[in-house]
Amino acid sequence: MRWKILVPVVLLLCLVFSGFVPVLAEPGDLYVQINLVGATTGCSILRVEPDGTLTEWVSNAQILAATGEADADCDDTGLAVALDGTLYFSEDTSDALLRVTPAGVVSVLASEATLAAATGDSSSDIDSGLILGSDGNLYAADDACDCVVRVTLPGGAVSVVVTEATIEAATGGGADLEGGLGRDGAGTLYITEDDTDQVVAVTAGGVASVLTTEADILAATGNTFADLDVGAELDGRFFVLDDTDSEVASVLAIDRATGLVSLVAQAPAIAAATGNTHPMPSFAVDLEGGIATEPGGDLFIGDNGLDFLGPGDIPRANIVRVSRAGAVSVFVTDSAIQSFYTALYTGFLARLEGSMDFQPRPEPAVTEIPTLGDWGQGVLILLLVGMGVLRTSRG
């Protein structure tokens, strides 16, 4: 009689372990590029769950194995996460675009040679301007050619969609794509241009125009110059980090229809939240760690504070939450980040110098019934058959 009880139990356990369990990557998780600074450099991708739990999603060793390089670098690099948890990021030693499957397999999606061949440049340098479009393809601002490329998924074919000449014609001569990139549902690209510090809009038909001028930005921030070279996220509005060196760093929202700039938060409020202090207040905040937001939610920003170090200064890296109303709080503290990475990488300091992105949440839809994978379906059939055998034997 015991085997009659054990068979369904064993089959049920096989069903559980065959895949009918939630995957580790979940919508709403935040993925953050961590640059590891020591005698050499390294790169890691940190996963932050909504409750603040930290796990390393991609290790430095995985990146090195994929690129074949001796070291890795996530300084001024981009990251984007798809709905299914597939992650795409740029890496600065190989200058390649990499892909990470939901199962954690890391591979090169487009090498520097592939990117350079498409742009006609001798190299490639994709900074923080890396996004997934609503058409399911990657868009990247390449700072080597100062152009925007499209990487078709899943194959990885690369093509230029906005040339340097197009941007220069709109700005009046400047083209320096070190930072933010956004794209709306109509295919219009929004590009932060760092030479003239303007935001350029380029329609799907290739028509370029200045959406927001440096004067517009200065009027909102009260600063004497702008520095739009960090990152941006498109979520109804175009959110931009203005990381001025000697003025007050700012978080800005730009109306993509009118170009109107509104100030969301500035360095004093961010420094007050993180506790970073410096005789020159703007040095206490360094907004070069990226920006991410969920639709209708708060902004999350990488503050690489005290980046300009003097005697006695200790660099601090905090992930800061900024509400749409401008309230600032710390989501993940520097001490949590440093203690987590000290346990993984001896002799390295964790720095927020790359980008971050959320795994999107699915749009509300008709309630779906969880489905089984191929193994799960097979085991379920065996379970049903086993129960049928038991029932027949009893009869």
Q: Where are the domains of the chain?
A: 21-369
pTM for this prediction: 0.84
* Cβ proximity of 153 and 159 under 8 Å: no
Distance CA 183, CA 178 (A): 17
Please name the helix (run of DSSP H) or strand (run of DSSP E) that holds residue 273, with its range, or none: helix 267-274
Fold of 21-369: Methylamine Dehydrogenase; Chain H (2.130.10)
Burial 202-230 (b: 16+ CB within 10 A, else e): beeeeebebbbbbebbbebbebeebbbbb
> From first to last of its 395 residues, what are the pLDDT tens digits of the chain?
444 444 444 444 444 444 444 446 688 999 999 999 998 999 999 999 999 999 999 999 999 999 999 999 999 999 999 999 999 999 999 999 999 999 999 999 999 999 999 999 999 999 889 999 999 999 999 999 999 999 999 999 999 999 999 999 999 887 888 878 999 999 999 999 888 899 999 999 999 999 999 999 999 998 888 888 777 888 778 999 998 765 688 999 999 999 999 999 998 899 999 988 776 666 788 888 999 988 778 999 999 887 666 666 677 899 999 998 899 999 999 999 999 999 999 999 999 999 999 998 887 654 444 555 544 555 445 555 455 544 555 55
Tokens of 208: 């370029």
Name which of 37, 83, 85, 34 is nearest 63 in CA terms: 34
Q: How much of the chain is helix, strand and coil, in % rounded to 5?
A: 25, 30, 45
